[in-house]
Structure 1
Amino acid sequence: MATGSEQLKVMQELAKGFEQTHPGAHINLLPGTSSYEQDIRVRLAGRNPPDIWNTHGWSRDRYANFLEPLNNQPWASRLNSLMDISMRTNGGEFYALPLDVAVTGIVYNQDVLQRAGVDARSINSWDDFDRACRAVTANGDSCIGAAGKETWTGGNLLDYTAPGMFTQAQLDALQQGDFEDAPFRKMADMVSGWARSKFFNVDYVSATNDDVARSVALNKIAFVFQSNGFVQTAQQYNPQVNLGFIAFPSDTGEQYLVSGEDYALGVAKDSPRKQLALEFLDYLAEPGNMERFTAVTNNASAFKDVKPTLGMMESSYDYWVTQKHTQAIPIFDRVYLPNGMWSTMTTTADGLISGQIDPAQAVSQISTSFVSLYRKKA
């Protein structure tokens, strides 16, 4: 949760509420930074983990040995099944409280598309997306927003588009450690083509994600590959910005949405304050508190008894999820790639967008990292 974000503000309010009902307790909230993942690694290596930390999608596959299992907590039976594939073990254990569930598509600015004569819901293939981008750029706007100063925004491009490049057999092979070049090459060719066609914001190299959000809010960028929480950031610059999302095109099957934990909190199993930390998670899991948090993420809830507040994304959610029953696929790198690949995905995407590497080099980079990390896993 970044400094100044609506999510952090609500979490601070919830922490104060907990402190008021638990005399002597103090929750010290530390905002996330660009080095968050590395900071956690260092603290774990030094056997000095935080009492509670945001597991950013890796509660089971990276942090399980350091976290307290939560399946016996009083709220565990209220969880729905949305997160089972990416958070639970085969034995049913899970290690983090999911504060929300990201049901993610391609976020779009309706006003930018309307100016360019593009109907967002007519984008059913990547060829359709390419034509939409050409219409947007011909109109003087940028098609895709990403931030070179925060390379995870580019990493999302690969992570979110990847599922539609692979057949199920190829996905199964990945999980067995068999790397296949062709789907990754197709993905790299596409992103490189977008860069050559100048679909990205012109300030990509120097841009932060706040810069991207500002440009989207000011109706200068058509699409971003981010979760619905992006809406809150854009609305800080223009409360009237008109955003929605569409499902991802697929080259191997039906269109899809990406689903996974966005914010999730785990408790260090060896924390001297473990009981208090678990009580804080119990407090957060109360329906009223979960509703307060999902209201600032524009995401679905992991709880059966919590109605999400999706804000301006409500109509998109209703269309793609409720009406069309669009399939939801787990976040690619968390299920199909070995631990540590996310860093390679972000640097590779950055290289493709900035033109520092070509698609062949991108595939080689990903392949080398995959083989090395899979061997470590084995």
Structure 2
Amino acid sequence: MRKVLLSGMLSMLALSVTLAGCSQRQAGGDTSPAPAAATPAPTQAPKSTDTGSSGGGDRTKITVYLNTNDKPVQDVYKGIAGDYAKENPKIDVDLQFPGSEYENILKVKMAANDLPDIFDTHGWAIIRYGKYLADLRDQPWVSNMTDTIKNVVTDKDGKVHVLVLSEAKDGLTYNADLLKKYSIEPPKTFDELLAASEKLKTESKGEVTPFFFSGVDDWMIGQFFDYFATSLLISPQQNEGQNLLDNKFDWNKWSALPEKLLEMQKKGYINKDVLTAKYSDLPQQFAQGKVAFSLLGPSFADEVHKVKPDLQIGFMPVPSMVAGDAPNFSGGERNTMGVWKDGKHIEESKKVIAFFAKPENMAKIANASKLPPGLKGVESKHEFTEYYNKYASIRVFPYFDRVYLPNGMWDVMCKTGTALLAGSVTPKQYSDKMKQEVERLRNK
């Protein structure tokens, strides 16, 4: 009797774990994942009455997970998926935007080998997702991959892992009207950035907060460390790149980054509500002239222009931190589409991706995301084209965490950075935490 009861209890427990593993949460944010809100309903174009395979009168549902939280970009994806469904009435393209939980959901799905038909690799096409992706080298768009992205998503054996819809070329987005009003040139060094912040705060009598960060969408805090780690440790001629790769880096040198962020907070260069502010608050405050700089690409510009259509928005490289060095961009793959190699609808999925790869569709995505497309021959034109042209010769480094830190460290940077601004972690403790977690994850 006890064996029967125990068996029943274990069955119920297994069922509850299974159901919990299927839940999803969503929130607003940008580049790297942001925090969670409520469970989203899938975005479909159009809805399917069946989840099975094609054949006879059945319709095939292709599930697509995408890692973008900017509504204008999501709307473009939905429009393209809708156009595909019109041309292919037996195919349903089920778009889902899990938001802040994207990375965690994909990790669970990898562990269960139960991935979406198509998914965004958000910068980790080869390193993290490589063995789960089908080879796309035979696709018609492959020959048009840009020179800057081709090697990023192609391995040594020639396998092409994903279509790169948007290349990342990340720096600082700024309110150009504010900088003009206060006679400030886009800073080229970190010291100039701090001087500009002081000028904005003082001359506006506190009406302008130089920087906006969110402890709710803590990827915004993580961005500070990822961007400026490159400026401090990688881009200078004498750098720590090899020491980081060889696990010989002196983590006491990391303390300079949290020290600078704390200095910015203490001097009033960061929004006072940093721990409770949300990414979705940024466009409104930016449009109202309350915020001058943001450490992310300009994909939120359309939301700003809904509030103030004539606001001039600028874009600049990440300032240098070491004397004699020059500014840089952080880059690599941003928005992508790859095919799960064990999916039931591989060929149909490849056709969906090929449709997104059409020049006119790539142009729509580029114009919405304000980012360079990953394919040649795409005619895109938006307000930031002039900035990409202006800074065409600026060096682009891969994201710091993707090269020099083990998988799992992004979350450590975000969470510990938030704790730093909350006053519960010191710069030295932040550095110690980085060292401890790097060693743990490398030995995992």
- Pick the TM interval, shorter chain: over 0.9
Question: Aligned to 1:232, what secondary structure does the other structure show?
Answer: helix
Q: For the Cα contact (< 8 Å) 1:75–1:282, is it kept in 2?
A: yes
- 2:348 match: 276
- 1:297 match: 369
- 2:386 match: 315
After superposition, the C-alpha distances for 1:12-32 in whole angstroms (9 at most, x for unaligned) are 111111112223100011123
Question: Aligned to 2:414, what secondary structure does the other structure show?
Answer: helix
- 2:14 match: none
CA distance in 1, matches of 2:68, 2:151: 27
Equivalent AA in structure 1 for residue 172 of structure 2: I
Q: For the Cα contact (< 8 Å) 2:251–2:434, is it kept in 1?
A: no
Q: For 1:166, which of 220, 224, 233 is the aligned residue?
A: 233
Going from structure 1 to structure 2, the CA distance change for 1:336 and 1:151 (only over 3 Å counts) comes to same
CA distance in 2, matches of 1:260, 1:227: 13
CA distance in 2, matches of 1:338, 1:233: 34
Q: Answer yes or no: is 1:207 the counterpart of 2:277.
A: yes
**CA-atom RMSD in angstroms:** 1.7
- 1:34 match: 100
Matched ranges for 1:12-31 at <5 A: 12-31=78-97
- 1:64 match: 130
Equivalent AA in structure 2 for residue 374 of structure 1: R
Q: For the Cα contact (< 8 Å) 2:228–2:321, is it kept in 1?
A: no
Once the two structures are overlaid, the 10-residue window that deviates more, 168-177 or 272-281, is: 168-177
CA distance in 2, matches of 1:61, 1:212: 32
Going from structure 1 to structure 2, the CA distance change for 1:341 and 1:108 (only over 3 Å counts) comes to same
Equivalent AA in structure 1 for residue 189 of structure 2: S
Q: For 1:233, which of 289, 298, 303 is the aligned residue?
A: 303
Q: Answer yes or no: is 1:339 the counterpart of 2:411.
A: no
Q: Answer yes or no: is 1:264 the counterpart of 2:339.
A: no
- 1:361 match: 429
Equivalent AA in structure 1 for residue 223 of structure 2: N
CA distance in 1, matches of 2:88, 2:263: 56
- 2:417 match: 349
Going from structure 1 to structure 2, the CA distance change for 1:371 and 1:86 (only over 3 Å counts) comes to farther
Going from structure 1 to structure 2, the CA distance change for 1:308 and 1:258 (only over 3 Å counts) comes to farther
CA distance in 2, matches of 1:2, 1:254: 30
Matched ranges for 1:96-245 at <5 A: 96-120=162-186, 123-138=187-202, 139=204, 140=206, 141-167=208-234, 169-245=239-315
Task: For residue 3 of structure 1, report the CA deviation from its aligned partner.
Answer: 6.2
Task: For residue 112 of structure 1, report the CA deviation from its aligned partner.
Answer: 2.2
CA distance in 2, matches of 1:293, 1:29: 15
Task: For residue 234 of structure 1, report the CA deviation from its aligned partner.
Answer: 2.2
Q: For the Cα contact (< 8 Å) 1:218–1:241, is it kept in 2?
A: no
Equivalent AA in structure 1 for residue 120 of structure 2: N
Once the two structures are overlaid, the 10-residue window that deviates more, 146-155 or 167-176, is: 167-176
CA distance in 2, matches of 1:2, 1:91: 30
Q: For the Cα contact (< 8 Å) 1:177–1:374, is it kept in 2?
A: no
Q: For the Cα contact (< 8 Å) 1:170–1:180, is it kept in 2?
A: no
Going from structure 1 to structure 2, the CA distance change for 1:223 and 1:284 (only over 3 Å counts) comes to same
CA distance in 2, matches of 1:203, 1:235: 24
Question: Aligned to 1:271, what secondary structure does the other structure show?
Answer: coil
Q: Answer yes or no: is 1:327 the counterpart of 2:399.
A: no
CA distance in 1, matches of 2:411, 2:258: 16
Question: Aligned to 1:65, what secondary structure does the other structure show?
Answer: helix
Q: For 1:254, which of 311, 323, 326 is the aligned residue?
A: 326
Task: For residue 220 of structure 1, report the CA deviation from its aligned partner.
Answer: 0.4
CA distance in 2, matches of 1:103, 1:344: 23
Equivalent AA in structure 1 for residue 193 of structure 2: F
CA distance in 1, matches of 2:339, 2:430: 37
CA distance in 1, matches of 2:258, 2:295: 16
Question: Aligned to 2:391, what secondary structure does the other structure show?
Answer: helix
TM-score by length of 1: 0.93
CA distance in 2, matches of 1:367, 1:84: 33
CA distance in 1, matches of 2:223, 2:345: 35
CA distance in 2, matches of 1:111, 1:355: 34
CA distance in 2, matches of 1:4, 1:74: 29
CA distance in 2, matches of 1:47, 1:234: 40
Higher relative contact order (CA 8 A, sep 6+): 1
CA distance in 2, matches of 1:202, 1:169: 34
After superposition, the C-alpha distances for 1:348-370 in whole angstroms (9 at most, x for unaligned) are 22123333322111111111111
Q: For the Cα contact (< 8 Å) 2:70–2:299, is it kept in 1?
A: no
Task: For residue 208 of structure 1, report the CA deviation from its aligned partner.
Answer: 0.9
CA distance in 1, matches of 2:306, 2:128: 34
After superposition, the C-alpha distances for 1:95-148 in whole angstroms (9 at most, x for unaligned) are 11111112221111012223333222xx12111111001111112210111111
Equivalent AA in structure 1 for residue 293 of structure 2: F
Equivalent AA in structure 2 for residue 350 of structure 1: T
Identity, % of aligned pairs? Answer: 25
Q: For the Cα contact (< 8 Å) 2:68–2:335, is it kept in 1?
A: no
Matched ranges for 1:367-378 at <5 A: 367-376=435-444
After superposition, the C-alpha distances for 1:318-356 in whole angstroms (9 at most, x for unaligned) are 2222xxx11111111112211111111111221233333
TM-score by length of 2: 0.80
Instruction: Give the unaligned 5+ runs of structure 1.
Output: none
- 1:73 match: 139
